[in-house]
Amino acid sequence: MADWTTAITITGSFGAASTAQIISHILTNKREIKKYERDCLQNLYSPLVLKVVKYFSREADKIIFHEVMVNFDIDEVKIKKDYEEMSLEANSIFEEIIECVGKNLKYAHPSLIVEYEEAIYKEESKHLFGGFNYIPHTNDYSFEQRIKVCRELLLEFIRISEKLDALSDALRVKIQGSLFFTELYPLLERCGYKKLARHVVKYMGDIMIALTRKNNLLSEIVYIRKQLDIAEDTIKFEEVRADACQFLYELGDQICTLEVNSPEDWKDQLEKEDINRMIFNKFPGDLLKSGNN
């Protein structure tokens, strides 16, 4: 009987020790994960989120300024010089973003690393075929890639910040306009509104105001974009695209009551592109194919 008691006691001791060791290991892992995420936030994401906001702001200033030059046929040397300085400033900010990501890849999420590598390739290609002084509303695949990099930075910053309870309401409001833009640009592209997509960044200020008036705009556009991405056939894609177009027209209702800088009305541009697509027989099925390529 004593032997059984001893055996049970020894087994119980081993069991308790093993359980304690497992718990200790789990807690250690959690502490290490938390420390790593805090390091990610401090070394990579936090220093860059406001740079992303500033970058999109400079792109907006640049395209508005360019449209003023074109529409009013302004040819003064000083005006052109100011525009070139805006272009250089926007490019410089993005270069700072890319440089910081490159120096801190050990803190980057895999999806950010993928977009970073793609951006490096496309930026180098652009240098070879025309340099840095591009205009967003031209057919510029590099600008689209810049948006993807910024989107990954913002998403991961929000995820980690919320997990660590380190995201202030003020900063959340400040970055949500930029995050909304990173969803809006590809949504316009995917729905076939490529011309509007090229200069939609100029609406950044109005988008910020619209977001404060309607809290669920961001969640709506994220949901619609995901539905478009998973649409596997033309019929489903047409259904989701119809919802997306309705969302874009309703967004125009809000933006057009605020926006004063554009020479064209948001909804007019949507309608013109819808008409052109019908003329050239670009129907949703074609958009589905182009999105899957």
Residues 148 and 183 in one domain: no
| Type of residue numbered 272 | K
Burial classification of residue 19, based on how many CB atoms lie within 10 Å of its CB (0-12 exposed, 13-18 middle, 19 or more buried): exposed
Residue 20 falls inside a structural domain: no
Q: What value does the mean pLDDT take over residues 219-236? A: 88
Q: What value does the mean pLDDT take over residues 187-213? A: 87
Mean pLDDT of the chain: 79
pLDDT of residue 16: 46
State the DSSP code for 44.
Answer: I
Last residue of a domain, one of 141, 167, 193: 167
Residue 291 falls inside a structural domain: yes
pLDDT band at 185 (very low <50, low <70, confident <90, very high): very high
71 or 239, higher pLDDT: 239
State yes or no: pLDDT of 129 exceeds 50: no
79-90 pLDDT tens trace: 777 778 888 899
Residue 14 falls inside a structural domain: no
Residues 47 and 152 in one domain: yes
Lowest mean pLDDT among 10-14, 115-119, 141-145, 157-161: 10-14
How many folded domains does the chain comprise? 2
106-123 pLDDT tens trace: 999 999 999 999 999 887
16-37 pLDDT tens trace: 445 545 544 554 678 888 899 9
Residue 154 falls inside a structural domain: yes
Residue 81 falls inside a structural domain: yes
> Whole-angstrom Cα distance, residue 77 to residue 279?
41
Residues 155 and 56 in one domain: yes
Contact 60, 201 (CB under 8 A): yes
Contact 118, 79 (CB under 8 A): no
Residues 105 and 196 in one domain: no
pLDDT of residue 238: 87
**Distances from the Cα of 54 to the Cαs of 48, 91, 175, in angstroms?**
10, 11, 10
Residues 160 and 174 in one domain: no
Last residue of a domain, one of 167, 182, 206: 167
Residue 1 falls inside a structural domain: no
Contact 60, 205 (CB under 8 A): yes
| Type of residue numbered 84 | E
Q: What percent of the chain has pLDDT over 70?
A: 74
Residues 214 and 238 in one domain: yes
**Distances from the Cα of 138 to the Cαs of 54, 142, 244, 274, in angstroms?**
21, 11, 23, 19
Residues 49 and 132 in one domain: yes
Q: What percent of the chain has pLDDT over 90?
A: 39
Residues 158 and 36 in one domain: yes
Structure tokens that stand for 247 in this block: 């969302």
Residue 146 falls inside a structural domain: yes
String of b and e for 68-90 (b: at least 16 CB within 10 Å)?
ebeeeeeeeeeeeeebeebbebb
Structure tokens that stand for 205 in this block: 């200020």
pLDDT of residue 83: 78
Alpha-helical runs (H) found in 164-233: 169-190, 194-199, 204-213, 217-230
43-62 pLDDT tens trace: 999 999 999 999 999 998 88
Q: What value does the mean pLDDT take over residues 144-153? A: 95
Residues 196 and 74 in one domain: no
pLDDT of residue 32: 87
Residue 21 falls inside a structural domain: no
3-state helix, strand, coil in the chain (%, to 5): 85, 0, 15
pLDDT band at 177 (very low <50, low <70, confident <90, very high): very high
State yes or no: pLDDT of 196 exceeds 80: yes
Residues 113 and 175 in one domain: no
Residues 187 and 122 in one domain: no
pLDDT of residue 40: 93
Contact 258, 210 (CB under 8 A): yes
Residues 205 and 262 in one domain: yes
210 or 246, higher pLDDT: 246
Q: What value does the mean pLDDT take over residues 213-220? A: 86
State yes or no: pLDDT of 133 exceeds 60: no
126 or 166, higher pLDDT: 166
- Structural domain including 80 reads 32-167
Last residue of a domain, one of 149, 167, 185: 167
Q: What value does the mean pLDDT take over residues 183-195? A: 91
